[in-house]
Structure 1
Amino acid sequence: MSLDPPTHLASLQNNIRQRPIPWDGQVRAGTLTEEQLAKIKAVERVKRDARREIVEADLDGYRILFVSEEDKPSVLEMAGKRPEVVQYILVLLKDLLDAVPSLPKALFKNGDPYKHFLPLLAHSSNAEDPIPLLTSTVLTSLMASTRDESDATVHKALPHLFSYLSSLTKNADPGLQDIGVLEYSSLLYGSVSRKQFWAQRSETVAPLVQILMTACGVGNGESNASLWSGTATGVSKGLDGSLSGGVGLQLLYHVLLVLWQLSFEAEEVGDELNEEYDIVLLYTQLLRLSPKEKTTRLLVSTLNNLLRTNQTTLLPQAVLVRLPALLQNLSTRQLTDPDLQEELTALREMLDDYTKTKTTFDEYVAEVISGHLRWSPPHRSTVFWAENARKIIDHENGAVLRKLAEIMAKPWDNDKAVLAIACNDVGALVKEVPEKRGTLEKLGLKTRVMQLMGEADENVRWESLRALGGWLKYSFENNDK
């Protein structure tokens, strides 16, 4: 699982390098100057070491060649109407940025080197146009090699670049997806860039999560109900080395790498990452399916980062999705990666310490607070409700009831079982603590139960009828008295 340039990109760059350009004719046409041509020719057909010596001997000259200065326009400005020249210059610049360590910082001499690059990201909306793609590689190399955190980079160039890369990750072509994901990885070099990445999460994080959902067998546009119900499909054993949904192992690894980098901001993003994307559930399912130790290590390490810094909110989630049992099973395998073994031990110990002090009541509360219900043991246990119904109603001034009402208010079109479970729980509360019916009614729970009697789903209708039966029973008894 190397981080070498994807085949698609390497092939494109090689083709452009080998493409003959009639440079003398371009000079005569005013596409570039004699001086610019001399600088290009000095470095275009020489070895890497010689290239570095030439550029380092004339850093100012090559800076001006690519980013301009006062009355000296850059070659990109002059060649703007000649796409074949622009493509060649972008490939050449990327090669020079990689070969000459001093060049990237030199381009920042006047503060903002992005003036002539950012418009190229919007050169065309056609995914086949190489200019935006090649521009993204230049900008990524420039930012990553300098680790620049100036205002010009963070607040001007980086948001535009993230937006462009998000279009690649949403493309149907796995090759373009992989380019976008790898460039993300190069850009998440520090806290500032990671926070900007998170600030644009609807563009950046959401498509990556969808790739992971696809790998778990949950199609685009579907909810994660299949993950909660445990019906997600497993690893495909096809010859293409893909997971379910056709996600290649290399793309999977690179997506996990990016989200692992983001997890170093877990204190700031962890709760919302789980609330918006069910990341603990998703990673637990991916851990079940993980085909390689390298992907398993990234999954375990990311969970470690998230759970360690958000223990109050995320450890209950981890127990709810049965992560401890999965880790126990994983620890029995013959793992060869010492880093994975260390991360796995740390994660298991953290969860063991947490579960030692937690009760079934704590697990139930965690499930409700998660916003998603499943048929876990407490729901059908008469003993559980007899012992805990009043405690549930009183917990944190009715916080659990309010969350239950919030869950029931949603339609749950892709997972009607949630509504059936919620009706079951409301019925159990009415049965065990009938004097609190008024409290439940004020939250709209009785009204919602009555509405659900008209649901198309048979299980929802049945559970809503049972719940309403409890209300009617106590109403009749009071009338008799």
Structure 2
Amino acid sequence: MSLDPPTYLASLQSNIRQRPIPWDGAVRTGTLTEEQLAQIRAVDKVKKDARKHTVEADLDGYCTLFVGGPGKKSVLELAAKRQDVVQYILVLLSDLLDNIPALAKALFKNGDPYRHFLPLLAHSANPDDHIPLLTSTVLVSLMAASKDESTATIDKALPVIFSYLSTLTKNSDAGLQDIGVQEYSSLLYGRATRQQFWEQRSETVTPLIQILRAAAGISDDSSASLWSDTTNTGRTGFEGSLGGGVGLQLLYHVLLVMWQLSFEASDVGDDLNDEYDIVSLYTKLLRLSPKEKTTRLLVSTLYNLLSANQNTLLPIAVLARLPALLQNLAGRQFPDPDLNEDLGNLRDLLDEYTRTKTTFDEYVGEVNSGHLRWSPPHRNTVFWAENARKILDFENGEILRKLAQIMARPWDNDKAVLAIACNDIGALVREVPEKRWQLEKLGLKTRIMELMGEADENVRWESLRALGGWLQYSFDTK
């Protein structure tokens, strides 16, 4: 998918192209050779067709110009001390790679084309030094044009460039963020690159999720913020810029990268939700989506994730009230046929799930998600009367083990989870007191007693209520 270059990058490259370079003087000082200068002049400031013809007629020569050859140094090696020349060569090479795919493939014929470029990513930490940024553009163009998945690319170069691009996406400058995100998009052209992107997710994915959370108006890391309005299925749009100052173009490009990653949903979908609450985040963003193009990416990504991980993610989508939101969206007329198709497929998927699942299934799905919310079953005495014993016996106590895992965490940003878990344990004790030993064996009674000292008032209250059930039935059996 071709995207317009970010404005900042396009402006920088344009300025460098227009800078006068004293080429003849550079030759006299050994910054480059006469032969190299002739090659540069043959393709510099000429029409694209003429440039393409010249390079394709001498691919080996132009490969030697940029990456060197037997007994010959590249122009970047010779000009290493001339920042103006290095910048000019990087912009020229980027232009050639964008217009002449054969050059990208030819650069791989004689070994590793990256050895001269990767060190330039660490050329300087000075923000006024544009060489690292221009180098990243060359590397991205080289990889994207060649679609190379060799060891040199995937195992050596790609991790380094992903790390560099992550510094751009974490920058406070929206222009640099957008460059990093668009270059990510260009690199996610195959399964191997997407897998490497996911392996480096603390660098690559996490900053993008932070941008999406800001766009959704979430200013902290609390999962509770994502679930605070799941009962509100109305749709509101943003005015001007999005929440957190995220512009529409940056939002679109981030969503595009996440959509590309979702093609690996069968491998990454569960972890993506466990670590980033992606289903609830995307449901919230879909509710707020200001444009059809962002809605299209949100719906398509959700469909990829849910269809590939139906057992684990469909229950979470129901808890996030996604079915009701899709029902509202179905009343709108979208001109985009792909959006309408994905929207219909997603609705069918959720309709089939909700038709065949009971409240008990929803509760199991919520516990398995690893994150509890005040969904209807928790306070429903009829639900506990009908299902407490079933919960204790389900898959040899699997639900209890999941509850124990949830309660073992501190939940510093979402203490409501602990309060809900205490509520559920108390309900199980009240309904099936003779099975208290199952809870005690997993350390749940001990954990309940620990939580009585929590600073959060709701956690203290729910833990006290749960322990009260234990004490009541302990006295009753004496």
| TM-score, scaled relative to structure 1 | 0.96
- Percent of counterpart pairs with the same letter? 76
**Quick one: structure 1 residues 237 and 295, their matched pair in 2 at CA, closer, same or farther if it must change by over 3 Å?**
closer
1: CA distance between counterparts of 2:383 and 2:419? 18
Cα distance in 2 between the residues matched to 1:328 and 1:234: 12
- CA offsets 1:294-323 (integer angstroms, 9 cap, x no match): 111111111111111111111111112111
Q: 2: distance between equivalents of 1:418 and 1:427?
A: 14
Residue correspondence of structure 1 range 37-116 to structure 2 within 5 A? 37-116=37-116
Q: String of CA shifts for 1:387-442, please: whole Å, max 9, x gaps.
A: 00011111111111111111112222222211111111111000000011111111
Q: 1:388-467 alignment to 2 at 5 Å?
A: 388-467=387-466
* 1:7-65 deviation digits (Å, cap 9, x = unpaired): 10001001111111111121111111111111111221211111112212222111100
Kept in 2, the 8 Å contact 1:423–1:449? The answer is yes
Residue 304 of structure 1 aligns to a residue in which SS? helix
5+ residue gaps in structure 1? none
Following superposition of structure 1 onto structure 2, how do residues 213-362 of structure 1 map, counting pairs within 5 Å? Answer: 213-219=213-219, 222-230=221-229, 237-239=238-240, 242-362=241-361
Q: Is the 8 A contact 1:235 1:243 kept in 2?
A: no
Q: What's the offset of the Cα at 1:448?
A: 1.4
Q: Determine the structure 1 residue equivalent to 2:160.
A: 160
CA shift for structure 1 position 127: 3.7
- What CA distance in whole angstroms lies between the structure 2 residues aligned with 1:384 and 1:369? 18
Cα distance in 2 between the residues matched to 1:170 and 1:436? 51
**Structure-1 separation of matches of 2:104 and 2:208:** 29
DSSP 3-state at the match of 2:452: helix
CA distance in 1, matches of 2:396, 2:292: 46
Contact 2:237-2:288 at 8 Å conserved across structures: no
2:134 is the counterpart of 1:134: yes
The separation in 2 between residues aligned to 1:93 and 1:478, in whole angstroms, is 83
Residues 185-205 of structure 1: CA deviation (Å, up to 9, x unaligned)? 111111111111112111111
C-alpha deviation, 1:447, in angstroms: 1.3
TM superposition shift of 1:234: 8.9
**Greater alpha carbon shift after TM alignment, 244-253 vs 92-101:** 92-101
Correspondence for 1:33: 33
Distance 1:328 1:85 in 2: 58
How far did 1:236 drift?
7.1
Instruction: Pick closer, same or farther for the CA change 1:114–1:446 going to 2, 3 Å.
Output: same
Match of 2:186 in 1: 186
Using the TM superposition, name which of 437-446 and 246-255 deviates more.
Answer: 437-446
CA distance in 1 between counterparts of 2:210 and 2:236 reads 17
Q: Which moved more, 1:203-212 or 1:100-109?
A: 100-109
Partner of 1:10: 10
Alignment deviations for residues 324-373 of structure 1 (CA, whole Å, 9 cap, x no partner) = 11111111112221111110000100111111110000111111111111
Aligned mates of 2:203, 2:401 — CA distance in 1 = 32
Q: Which moved more, 1:33-42 or 1:96-105?
A: 96-105
In structure 2, the gaps of 5 or more residues are none
Q: Is the 8 A contact 1:236 1:244 kept in 2?
A: no
The whole-number CA distance in structure 2 between the counterparts of 1:135 and 1:377 is 54
Cα displacement string for residues 252-311 of structure 1 (whole angstroms, at most 9, x for unaligned residues): 110111111111111111111111111111111111111111111111111111111111
* Structure 2 CA distance for aligned equivalents of residues 88 and 144 of structure 1: 21
Greater CA drift, 437-446 or 383-392: 437-446
User: Residue 167 of structure 1 aligns to a residue in which SS?
Assistant: helix
Q: Give the partner amino acid of 1:141.
A: S
Output the amino acid matched with 1:351: L
The CA deviation at 1:100 is 2.2
Tell me the amino acid that sits aligned with residue 464 of structure 2. Answer: L
Contact 1:427/1:468 (<8 A) preserved: yes
| 1: CA distance, partners of 2:18 / 2:433 | 82
Q: CA deviation at 1:478?
A: 1.6
Q: Secondary structure at the match of 1:454?
A: coil
Aligned CA RMSD, in angstroms, stands at 1.7
User: What amino acid sits opposite 1:404 in the alignment?
Assistant: L
| AA of the residue aligned to 1:11 | S
1:196 aligned residue: 196
Give the residue type in structure 1 aligned to 2:332.
Answer: R
The answer to whether the 8 Å contact 1:77/1:116 transfers is yes
The aligned length equals 476
Where 2:21 maps in the other structure, the secondary structure is: coil
- Is the contact made by 2:306 and 2:313 (CA closer than 8 Å) also made in structure 1? yes
Q: Write the distance in 2 (CA, Å) between the matches of 1:399 and 1:385.
A: 17
User: Offset of 1:237 from its aligned partner?
Assistant: 4.2
Whole-Å Cα distance in 1 between the matches of residues 192 and 447 of structure 2?
Answer: 45
After TM superposition, the score normalised by the length of structure 2 is 0.96
Contact 2:282/2:302 (8 A) holds in 1: yes
Q: Secondary structure at the match of 1:466?
A: helix
Deviations 1:76-101 (CA, angstroms, capped at 9, x unpaired): 01111111111010001111112223
SS across alignment from 2:356: coil
Distance 1:149 1:28 in 2: 41
Letter in 2 for 1:253: Y
C-alpha distance in structure 2 between counterparts of 1:207 and 1:341, whole Å: 30
Aligned mates of 1:464, 1:151 — CA distance in 2: 55
- Structure 2: how far apart are the matches of 1:90 and 1:256? 29
Shift of 1:208: 0.9
> What CA distance in whole angstroms lies between the structure 2 residues aligned with 1:370 and 1:93?
49
Give the 3-state SS of the residue equivalent to 2:110 in structure 1: coil
- 1:59 and 1:229 map into 2 onto residues whose CA distance is 59
